[in-house]
Amino acid sequence: MDHLQLEAGLTVAELVTRWPQTIKVFVRHRMACVGCAMSPFETLTEVTTIYGLDPNCFLRELAQTIEQSEAQNYDQF
C-alpha cells in the first residue's frame, strides 16, 4: 500500500508519479517542472520558491485537485 502523503518536502517526481492528475496544476502555472531533469531532486517548496509562488496556496491547489479526482473516481463505483 502506498502511504505517500502530500507535503512540501515531496519532490516533483514523487508527486506526479503518485498523483498524475496534479500535472495540470503545474501546466496552469506555466511551470516547466513536469519532465524536468531536476524533478526527482527538487521539492515542492523549492519549486514554489523558484517560480515565486506561495507554497501554502500551491499545496492547497494540489490537494484540491487530488481530492476532486479521487471523489470523481469514487463516484464511478
1 falls within a domain: no
65 falls within a domain: yes
2 falls within a domain: no
* d(C-alpha 15, C-alpha 11), whole Å: 6
> How confident is residue 72, by pLDDT bands cut at 50, 70 and 90?
confident
4 falls within a domain: no
27 falls within a domain: yes
**Domain count within the chain:** 1
3 falls within a domain: no
pLDDT (mean) for 17-46:
97
17 falls within a domain: yes
Residue 1: the pLDDT is: 35
Least confident of 2-6, 21-25, 29-33, 43-47: 2-6
* d(C-alpha 41, C-alpha 43), whole Å: 7
6 or 70, higher pLDDT: 6
Please, are residues 15 and 22 in contact by the beta-carbon 8 Å criterion? yes
pLDDT (mean) for 16-24:
97
Residue 4: the pLDDT is: 75
* d(C-alpha 1, C-alpha 43), whole Å: 23
Which triple of cell numbers denotes residue 57? 496556496
The residue range of the domain holding 65 is 12-75
Query: What's the whole-number average pLDDT of the chain?
Result: 92
68 falls within a domain: yes
